[in-house]
A and B are shown apart, each in its own frame.
Chain A
Amino acid sequence: MNVDETDLPGLGRRKDFMTASGRRIGVVEYREGQTELIVSTWDDPDTCQASVPLTADEAAALGNLLGGQRIAMQLSEAHREIPGIVTRQFSISAESPFQNQPMGKACIRTRSGVSIVAIMREGEVLPSPGPDVVLHPGDLLVAVGTQEGLDTAAGILRNG
């Protein structure tokens, strides 16, 4: 993947690339630290259809969503041979009772049989997180288990 980096004198820096569908997508990083998501229009890759200002949290959450999707796809590929095993992602919302708590406190494996195999945080992957990893709002948990187990785990993370 070839990401273009272009200086914007006086403003900051643009990082973008061309997608297979012919649209340019990327971010503008301002000198003052803000981030903007940019998407080009379908008929003119030079112009922007949307430029969405993102806070640091939002940018991290978006990065996790996109990165998490890939990990989940790879995992479900790996588990395809085992019937009954499903991969799912849970995001930790700001209302979650376990935000800023160690993950072990939720006792997910004991209560639902589901394993948390990775946590996506700010665009980075924490593989096989231990029970003492503290959950942050915006984290994306990649979970593997049975369909019912995953439903239970979702309930635990939402309601405690």
Chain B
Amino acid sequence: MDPLALTLIELGAVVFCLGLLARLAGRIGMSPIPLYLVGGLFFGAGGLVKLEGMHEFAHLSGEIGVILLLLMLGLEYTASELVTGLRRSWQAGVLDLLLNFLPGAGLALMLGWGVVGAMVMGGVTYISSSGIAAKVITDLGRIGNRETPVVLSILVFEDLAMAVYLPVLTATLAGVSFLLGLQTVGISLAVVSLVLVVALRHGHHVSKAVHSENSEVFLLNLLGAALLVAGLAAAMQVSAAVGAFMLGIAISGATAHSATRVLEPLRDLFAALFFVVFGLNTDPRSIPPVLGWALLLALVTAATKMVTGYWAAKRAGIGIPGRYRAGAALIARGEFSIVIAGLAVASGVVPADLAALATAYVLIMAIAGPLAARFVEPLVRLLRRPVRRPAFRTSGPA
């Protein structure tokens, strides 16, 4: 068959299947990410169906998917929100980092994957899925709840931590010497601070440069700028993802909101392809051997996120049910864990088992996270003594 025809047929079939999976996910009220991963496993190396024709395109699409995911993560919060979030919740953020980075890193060391593997797995277990968390909070009608700002500011902190973590990870994966690594990290820290200052003081200039009333012009400007910045960042060894993320932070105000709207469909498409490509490159036969470890890691890191949320909510003066709700909302891991594992796998310096472990872990956490968030409240209610309804206070003759 004509190679172009083959590519188109394969791509069409895959995207169509993703549509069916996304619809199924919506029907049962879960995140589509685990289903995309399973879809990728199904099609990929060692899977049931082999797809050769679309490999090149899918690979590039996956890269664009990562760039768009990070660009939109940057767009999600304004620079001032990041700064106030950092100021207000750094203690909770540091606790979150310690409690959730260490289990992943520890397991990687135990399995003999070395410092690089530890660095990667720590990141995979650390970062909550802000996408799943936000959706869970909205779906369960908890936006007006008092613990929600606590959850959101922890997510904001993780967001900032990513800006430091990703360059460090890229340097580690590239296997550069300690000194050169420090230099890379120094450069990226300087760039992060510079971008924050620029975004705070002159964010409107950056916004103005890409903004347009015409949504077509706006989309092309945005996408062009994102790919350019990402490419330049990659050329400077800072990781394309970080470049896109920084651009997202620098764009602010009304432009950021309309950018989110314009980019959302593109992000959905390319990010879905990214998850599929990640699944494609993972051999499904490598998952059963690591499933036990993944389950253990899932249990431990669900508990550590719970502790993080509980502690942060308690500090904010939230009652006991709200503390559990805050913890449970943070449990889900998703897109960014896969982004981290994907960067590691692409560099080829981590064992193949790592991809399998990360896949199994995210599959569990992306499904268990929303379930935990939903059922934590009735569970806490059940375990605590029932409270009697107070008599309604009225004044005057009733």
Contact present for B322 and A47 (CB under 8 Å): yes
Once bound together, how far apart are the Cα atoms of A38 and B318, in whole Å? 17
Q: Provided the pairs A21-B392, A43-B389, A47-B322 are in contact, do residues A8 and B145 lie with their beta carbons within 8 angstroms?
A: no
Interface segment, A24-32, A99-107, A118-126, A144-152? A24-32
Contact present for A48 and B145 (CB under 8 Å): yes
Is there a chain A Cβ closer than 8 Å to B59's Cβ?
no
B226 to chain A, nearest CB (A): 19
Among A7, A22, A48, the residue within 8 A (CB) of B149 is: A7
Is there a chain B Cβ closer than 8 Å to A88's Cβ?
no
Is there a chain A Cβ closer than 8 Å to B319's Cβ?
yes
Is there a chain A Cβ closer than 8 Å to B212's Cβ?
no
Contact pattern, B 133-158, Cβ under 8 Å of A = 1, otherwise 0: 01000000111111111001101100
Contact present for A51 and B144 (CB under 8 Å): yes
Q: Provided the pairs A9-B85, A10-B134 are in contact, do residues A42 and B389 lie with their beta carbons within 8 angstroms?
A: yes
Contact pattern, B 170-187, Cβ under 8 Å of A = 1, otherwise 0: 000000000000000000
Question: A46 contacts which chain B residues (CB < 8 A)?
Answer: 145-147, 318-319, 321-322, 325
Q: Which of B343-398 contact A (CB under 8 A)?
A: 377, 387, 389-390, 392-393
Is there a chain B Cβ closer than 8 Å to A20's Cβ?
yes
Q: Provided the pairs A48-B141, A51-B143 are in contact, do residues A32 and B257 lie with their beta carbons within 8 angstroms?
A: yes
Count how many chain B residues have C-beta atoms less than 8 Å from C-beta atoms of the other chain.
Answer: 32
Contact present for B142 and A44 (CB under 8 Å): no
Contact present for A51 and B141 (CB under 8 Å): yes
B78 to chain A, nearest CB (A): 8
Question: B392 contacts which chain A residues (CB < 8 A)?
Answer: 21
Contact pattern, B 84-119, Cβ under 8 Å of A = 1, otherwise 0: 110000000000000000000000000000000000
Question: B393 contacts which chain A residues (CB < 8 A)?
Answer: 20-22
Nearest 3 pairs between A and B by C-beta? A38-B144, A46-B322, A46-B146
A–B complex contacts, Cβ < 8 Å, 5 sampled: A10-B155, A45-B319, A46-B318, A47-B377, A51-B144
Q: Apart from A8-B143, A14-B144, A44-B321, what 19 extra A-B contacts exist at CB < 8 Å?
A: A7-B84, A8-B148, A8-B152, A10-B76, A11-B143, A21-B392, A22-B390, A32-B257, A36-B144, A38-B144, A42-B389, A43-B387, A46-B146, A46-B318, A46-B322, A46-B325, A47-B145, A47-B146, A51-B144
